[in-house]
Amino acid sequence: MPTDNKIHFLLIPHIGPGHTIPMIDMAKLLANQPNVTVTLATTPLNIARYGSAIIDPFRFLELPFPAVEAGLPEGCESTDKIPSIDLVPNFLTAIDMLQQKLEQRFHTIKPRVNCIISDKYMSWTGDFADKYKIPRIMFDGMSCFNELCYNNLYEHKVFEEMPESEPFVVPGLPDRIELTRKQLPPEFNPSSIDTSVFRQRARDAEVRAYGVVINSFEELEQECVKEYKKLRNGKVWCIGPLSLCNSDKSNKELIDDEKCLKWLDSREPDSVVYVSFGSLVRVNTPQLIELGLGLEASNRPFIWVIKSVHREKEVEEWLAESGFEERIKDRGLIIRGWAPQVPILSHPSVGAFLTHCGWNSTLESVCAGVPMITWPQFAEQFINEQLIVQVLGLGVGVGADSVVHVGEEDRFGVKVKRESIKNAVENVMDGGSQENERRMRSKEFGKIANNAIKEGGSSYLNLTLLIQDIMHHENAEASSKKVDI
């Protein structure tokens, strides 16, 4: 039986920003509930990276990352720190080696762990949970819509005999959704780096999981929630948007907020296009230039976040020599590197978000009530685009037609022309009846999202049900042991 009627959750995120940040938000959310203890296990550099701003009552468990052992540079402890695509297999090997690191330290965790919530791609946690007879809940950081798409693609494999550019209907969904083979994630559309064994292990562990926690809210995708619950015997808990649980600010965020917000304060309501492609997208230089010229041609105010760590010299040369920065200085703000995305999206002057359709960014846009201009790049992002544009009617696409796998950007050249970018911006920002309807719908979903996590909201209730489920599971286990005795 849980010690003092408290439930102890052990959270194990995948070590990349897009996976770690929402799980830290989940840790805060759980730790602030009555009778709940939370420990989050991650590597030393990730604790240093994210832990300084944590004020909520949960604990970190340090797992030394075997970077050098796995053939990685010292300090390579996150997906966004992998210096070369060729080292991805080494990084995946190092992730699997974390099982031994946790087993060495597991006896130090007090009180006893009652439930593990781990990222889908930390598949070894399935074996670990079985070994210690602890229920393991999977966290994929995605939507029920996405989970259904993946499941039905695995089950039916309707794409296998299709030409790569010919659309097919994804079976078994509440809405008619069409994709092509070249838009599918690497599970079904492999890149040049073979990760098939790693991904199949993740799938096997997913099927065995006790349940699934979803970073979404039921009102966003009601029919998909119902269908996914049928697949998982009801053990699906939508407890998001998790980003709304994050109220902490570091000094760096406050300084950058002030700079961005001051610039935004001088703009008209709903007039600015915010452009950011997340932490992992590495757009090649010719495509980056085309994006810049498309923004310039749209004649709209914009904030453009450029993360070009692997092409910094090329990009800076273009910005300086082309005169672009000088030409747009009165209506464009360029941010190099990190940007305070949530405060920017929440500002009244922001009227659209040009996004890669990563799920965290998608949810942040929904929460802020901001329509999207969609430009998916890889992974599940084309699936997310279908939800945004076709199902919810919250965005317009730039016309991207195929995945650009990480590390293969130069092979693809320019996939989206400046005219398409300009047209998509105008389509979302022109103030016509369709645009006004899309904007109203976006703002309405924003209100619903914010209410979902409040007391009495759908996600608040699901969090309570999740805790009660684990409590009942523990009590049932304790009773069965008494009977055995």
Residue 413 lies in a domain: yes
Residue 180 lies in a domain: yes
Residue 245 lies in a domain: no
CB of 63 closer than 8 Å to CB of 106: no
Q: Same domain, yes or no, for 63 and 171?
A: yes
Residue 244 lies in a domain: no
Residue 289 lies in a domain: yes
The reported pLDDT for the residue numbered 404 is 93
Q: Which residue's structure tokens are 């994050």?
A: 246
Residue 72 lies in a domain: yes
The reported pLDDT for the residue numbered 19 is 95
Residue numbers of the chain with a pLDDT score lower than 70: 1-4, 53, 55-56, 246-257, 308-310, 482-485
Residues 29-49: tens digit of each pLDDT: 999 999 999 999 999 999 999
Query: In terms of Cα–Cα distance, which of 383, 334, 338, 332 is closest to 362?
Result: 383
Query: In terms of Cα–Cα distance, which of 180, 143, 166 is closest to 382?
Result: 180
Please give the model's pTM, rounded to 2 decimal places.
Answer: 0.94
Give the separation between CA 103 and CA 167, rounded to whole angstroms.
Answer: 46
- Which tokens belong to 347? 């500002």
The reported pLDDT for the residue numbered 2 is 47
- Which tokens belong to 304? 């453009």
Q: Same domain, yes or no, for 273 and 220?
A: no
Q: Same domain, yes or no, for 184 and 58?
A: yes
Q: Same domain, yes or no, for 429 and 465?
A: no
Q: Same domain, yes or no, for 201 and 266?
A: no
Give the separation between CA 245 and CA 237, rounded to whole angstroms.
Answer: 16
Residue 291 lies in a domain: yes
Count structural domains, the chain: 2
Q: Same domain, yes or no, for 314 and 261?
A: yes
Q: Same domain, yes or no, for 429 and 312?
A: yes
Q: Same domain, yes or no, for 283 and 209?
A: no
The reported pLDDT for the residue numbered 252 is 43
Q: Same domain, yes or no, for 257 and 234?
A: no
Residues 139-168: tens digit of each pLDDT: 989 999 999 999 999 999 999 989 999 999
Q: Same domain, yes or no, for 390 and 335?
A: yes
What is the domain extent for residue 302? Answer: 251-449
Residue 246 lies in a domain: no
Before 174, cis peptide (omega within 30)?
A: no
The reported pLDDT for the residue numbered 159 is 95
| Three-state secondary structure call for residue 49 | helix
CATH of the domain at 315: 3.40.50.2000
Q: Same domain, yes or no, for 261 and 276?
A: yes
The CB-side HSE value for 452 (13 A sphere, CA atoms) comes to: 29
Give the separation between CA 235 and CA 232, rounded to whole angstroms.
Answer: 6
The reported pLDDT for the residue numbered 250 is 40
Q: Same domain, yes or no, for 362 and 414?
A: yes
